[in-house]
């Protein structure tokens, strides 16, 4: 036979049946204790008008009390099933709670960002060529493990290298411009704080973020009209700049930037190119200034005052004329003071 407990205060009953964590520790601890000792489904509420004890507390005459059905038999709904009792299975309303009993709880929103792990650790590479090769090998391994028609070619094909580069472009864009890509996919305007808003980006058919640009009518290739946007502070972009710089034979900043912009656009890319060229060893070698040589002491005769051609130097030249088989000897006298030259043939 199930046991039911009837409470007289509605908010108290609802409180026991509900979540106690919103209350101050004093109330919370007691409610939790009651919830441990009894099942909330056992609790019911008796409204004031159905409470026989209220007849006495409010005052009544013995004659009236003797004839009162409520006093002798209790509330009429007690004879019904518990499901028909009043205020059962009802949520507590905020207005029914005393604000002093509630605990103030500040909510903190924590944004958890999940960093995607790439197949290959890019930080271990100093050359884009090697990175793309390794990525292509990894892709081939994954494909061979999945499909029946395995590629047993000993060499990496150009398509595989292109796929690897496409993978990295997409990966880098999702890493740095995921908010912009999501906004564009929803056909919404980019936020003003976006670094690339001024470039008017759009998602191309290959799902890469590209510049709309103003060269739509120009007689240029697609990559030049709509270059792929790449972030500046990114290892992949650095490797890409190095590759383009080497591809054009270690040319200067402007030439490297022009070469890059044939396919890619890096916001504030000039600074990145300058940095890469500054640390390029080959460029350093070619741009190095020759070492200065210290001049020796001048001879005494040259710095002592004397008439012209008193102290001279001689330069003897012998020329052979092969066609006429002749020998031409010339002698030149050089004054060490006034630096004038007199030929003697
Ligand atoms: Zn260089």
**Residue 162: what pLDDT?**
94
**Residue 292: what pLDDT?**
85
Q: Is the pLDDT of residue 115 over 70?
A: no
Q: Is the pLDDT of residue 91 over 80?
A: no
Q: Is the pLDDT of residue 87 over 70?
A: no
Q: How far is the CA of 180 from the centre of ligand 1 (A)?
A: 34
Percent of the chain at pLDDT > 70 equals 85
Q: How far is the CA of 249 from the centre of ligand 1 (A)?
A: 7
Q: How far is the CA of 228 from the centre of ligand 1 (A)?
A: 23
**Residue 135: what pLDDT?**
94
Q: How far is the CA of 120 from the centre of ligand 1 (A)?
A: 26
Q: Is the pLDDT of residue 266 over 90?
A: yes
pLDDT digits (tens, 9 = 90+) for 223-263: 889 999 999 999 999 999 999 999 999 999 999 999 999 99
Q: How far is the CA of 273 from the centre of ligand 1 (A)?
A: 10
Q: How far is the CA of 235 from the centre of ligand 1 (A)?
A: 17
Percent of the chain at pLDDT > 90 equals 32
**Residue 11: what pLDDT?**
65
CB 7: neighbour CB atoms within 10 A? 17
**Residue 161: what pLDDT?**
94
Q: How far apart are CA 261 and CA 246, in angstroms?
A: 15
Interacting residues of 55 by C-beta distance below 8 A, sequence separation 6+: 65, 68, 70, 71
**Residue 120: what pLDDT?**
84
Q: How far is the CA of 195 from the centre of ligand 1 (A)?
A: 29
Q: How far is the CA of 279 from the centre of ligand 1 (A)?
A: 8
User: For residue 102, what pLDDT band results from cuts at 50, 70 and 90?
Assistant: low
pLDDT digits (tens, 9 = 90+) for 149-198: 676 778 889 999 999 999 999 999 999 999 999 999 998 888 888 888 88
Q: How far is the CA of 121 from the centre of ligand 1 (A)?
A: 25
Averaged confidence pLDDT in the chain: 83
pLDDT digits (tens, 9 = 90+) for 285-331: 998 888 888 889 988 888 888 888 888 889 898 888 888 878 888 88
pLDDT digits (tens, 9 = 90+) for 18-53: 677 767 778 778 888 887 887 777 777 777 778 888
**Residue 244: what pLDDT?**
95
Q: How far is the CA of 209 from the centre of ligand 1 (A)?
A: 29
Q: For residue 233, which of 195, 203, 202 has the smallest C-alpha distance?
A: 195
């Amino acid at each position: 036979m199930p046991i039911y407990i009837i409470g007289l205060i509605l908010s108290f009953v609802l409180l026991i049946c509900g979540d106690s964590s919103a209350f101050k520790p004093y109330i919370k601890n007691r409610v939790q204790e009651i919830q441990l000792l009894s099942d909330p489904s056992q609790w019911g509420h008796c409204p004031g008008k159905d409470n026989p004890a209220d007849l006495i507390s409010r005052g009544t005459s013995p004659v009236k009390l003797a004839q009162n059905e409520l006093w002798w038999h209790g509330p009429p709904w007690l004879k019904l099933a518990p499901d028909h009792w009043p205020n059962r299975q009802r949520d507590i309303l905020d207005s029914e709670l005393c604000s002093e009993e509630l605990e103030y709880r500040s909510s903190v929103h924590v944004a958890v960002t999940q960093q995607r792990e790439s197949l290959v650790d890019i930080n271990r590479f100093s050359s884009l060529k090697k990175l793309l090769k390794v990525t292509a090998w990894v892709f081939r391994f994954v494909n061979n493990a999945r499909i029946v028609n395995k590629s047993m070619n000993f060499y990496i094909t150009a398509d595989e290298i292109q796929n690897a580069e496409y993978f990295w472009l997409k990966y880098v864009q999702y890493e740095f411009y995921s908010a912009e890509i999501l906004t564009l996919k929803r056909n919404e305007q980019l936020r003003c704080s976006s670094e690339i808003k001024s470039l008017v980006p759009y998602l191309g058919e290959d799902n890469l973020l590209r510049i709309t640009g103003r060269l739509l009518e120009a007689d240029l290739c697609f990559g030049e009209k709509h270059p792929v946007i790449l972030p500046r502070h990114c290892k992949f972009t650095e490797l890409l700049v190095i590759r383009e710089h080497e591809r054009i034979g270690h040319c200067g900043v402007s030439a490297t930037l022009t070469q890059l912009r044939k396919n890619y656009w890096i916001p504030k890319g000039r600074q990145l190119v300058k940095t890469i060229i500054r640390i390029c060893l080959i460029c350093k070698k070619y741009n190095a200034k020759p070492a200065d040589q210290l001049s020796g002491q001048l001879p005494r005769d040259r710095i002592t005052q004397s008439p012209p051609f008193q102290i001279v130097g001689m330069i003897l030249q012998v020329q052979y004329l092969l066609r006429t088989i002749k020998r031409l000897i010339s002698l030149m006298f050089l004054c060490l003071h006034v630096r004038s030259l007199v030929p003697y043939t």
